[in-house]
Amino acid sequence: MSGSKENVVEITKLTMCEESRYRTFDGSCNNLYNPTWGMANTTFGRLLPPRYGNGINSPPKSVTGSELPLSRLVSYTLFPDNDVDDPIWTLVAMQYGQIITHDMSLAAGNSQSAACYAMLYR
């Protein structure tokens, strides 16, 4: 039965995704082999289990048990507010970062995305 996996992939691509030269607005079918990856309102798969200070929702502690520095302090330390003399690429980098940040924060989900994740990965 050689090639059966490839046939399943081809059938999945044909049934779920319409052929188009443009990407979809919700991110579906942008990856033809995994049509739901990167889709709006879907959760991210974790590589490691979550690590909260109290096991539920508080910020994590360091390995020594002390408080970690505030994320804003880390951000300002690593990326200080310096003048950059390149107005074109500076704006592009800012916009790209903004898009990625919004995409990641919205993908964290709501009850709808949790239900979709459960249906896809049961």
Positions marked active-site: 102
Give yes or no for a contact between 38 and 27, defined as CB atoms under 8 angstroms apart.
yes
User: Helix, strand, coil: what percent of the chain each, to 5?
Assistant: 45, 0, 55
Using DSSP, state whether 39 is helix, strand or coil: coil
DSSP assigned state of 61: B
How many Å apart are CA 76 and CA 93, to the nearest integer?
Answer: 17
Measured CA to CA, the distance from residue 118 to residue 122 in angstroms comes to 6
